[in-house]
Amino acid sequence: MVEVKVENLTKIFDGEVVAVNDVSFTVEEGEILTLLGPSGCGKSTILRTIAGFNIPEKGRILFGDRDVTYLPPQDRNTAMCFQNYAIWPHMSVFKNIEFGLQIKRVPIEERENLVKEALGSVRMEDYEKRMPNELSGGQQQRVALARALVVNPDILLLDEPLSNLDAKLRVESRRKIRELVKELNLTAIYVTHDQAEALSISDIIAVLDRGFLRQIGSPRNIWENPENAFVATFIGEANTFNMNVSSVQNGEILLEMKDARSDERHMLTSKYGKGVNTGQIATVVVRPEMMEVSGSQNSSLNQIKAKIRSIMYFGTFERIVAALPDKNEVVIHRFDQKIPLKRNQEIFIHVDPELLYSFGPENL
């Protein structure tokens, strides 16, 4: 196990494209850190720089106390699993896994034992003579993982290793990867754009946007305490709309929305705000599952009027699209379906003030 420190990392391509902008984080020994973000945010660039395939314009990379910033990949003792697995098509499963040991000049008698151990760790003992074209996508992914593990790396690097698998197999594979990494006590850095994957596999998540690190923390902290509107909307499904900030007092933010058809004002209270000040326009974020629906107004609740545009049945919940007074639409996941609702019906949406996130202009 080795701790990984990334300090003020900056990577620029073609002299002007800033792919990674002053990013710093630490991965403790035995932790799985996931670099999460949309395409082009810099996550794979960071991973490839840690692996030694990119040289940064600024910053340092430390493995424990060892500065590896300018070391070639072969001198870092990392192993990498790629999105396309990169399995040699002309080699058997055994030969694919053995290849890295040959490069390291491991004696032949030792290689056989190490390959068999690696095959056992990914439950592929009976497949050593198979060729890659005889394997399923999930089996190929496990061969790639065994090939990475067989060289006994200090750090395991995984670049979207499950993106080519179907949804059911992805769920099973990410569970197996987490169990294996923990069983072998490895330090791992994982790249994905899939929020569910990041939440389920990680000890720590680093959320990236256009080369910047927007927030880092545990999956629960990232989900429950987003620092900005980008993180709040990127992690899971979320509704976003604007409201005027009428007042900020004693931890309560009073938000106002003007009716598009009249001068009527509609109010909501938020107890979760970042950078919100009176007189500003706040970006309000609320998750579909955090909203409840009733057919009548209750002055004791944090409610706002809406009108149903559509209803779709998903078994355990109904997915309702409703228009707010300013005509912006929100999605609601309604789990209590005892009272039937219909299209064009006027409803009242109730949101717990603790679950209504509001962000000022500096926290978008």
pLDDT above 70 coverage of the chain, percent = 100
Average pLDDT, the chain: 91
Of 88-102, 227-241, 272-286, least confident by mean pLDDT is 88-102
Q: Which amino acid is at 223?
A: W
Q: Are residues 240 and 217 in the same domain?
A: no
Structure confidence at residue 43 as a pLDDT band (50, 70, 90): very high
Total-model pTM: 0.87
The torsion of the CA quartet 112, 118, 122, 123, rounded to 10 degrees, works out to 30
Of 116, 160, 156, 161, whose CA–CA distance to 137 is shortest?
Answer: 161
Nearest to 197 by CA among 235, 229, 140, 232: 235
Mean predicted confidence (pLDDT) in 86-110: 84
Shared domain for 249 and 187, answered yes or no, is no
What residues contact 2, with CB distance under 8 A and at least 6 apart?
29, 63, 64, 154, 155, 187
Of 172, 204, 233, the residue at which a domain comes to its end is 233
**Domain at 273, CATH number:** 2.40.50.140
Which of 59, 80, 86 minimizes the C-alpha distance to 70? Answer: 59
pLDDT over 80 at 169, yes or no: no
Residue that finishes a domain, picked among 173, 202, 233: 233
Long-range residue pairs from 102-107, CB within 8 A, at least 24 positions apart, any chain: 103/74, 104/151
Pair (228, 280) in one structural domain: no
The answer on 185 and 67 residing in a single domain is: yes
Mean pLDDT across 336-347:
91
Q: Enter the DSSP assignment of 160.
A: S
191 and 42 housed in the same domain = yes
In the chain, how many domains are there? 2
Per the structure, the complete domain to which residue 293 belongs is given by: 236-363
What percentage of the chain has pLDDT greater than the value 90? 61
**107 and 56 housed in the same domain:** yes
Which of 233, 266, 300 finishes a domain?
A: 233
pLDDT higher than 90, residue 303: yes
Q: Which pLDDT score is estimated for 341? A: 93
CATH code of 18's domain: 3.40.50.300
What's the rounded Cα separation, in Å, for the pair 251 and 53?
48
In this prediction, residue 254 has a pLDDT band, given cuts at 50, 70 and 90, of very high
What's residue 222's pLDDT? 95
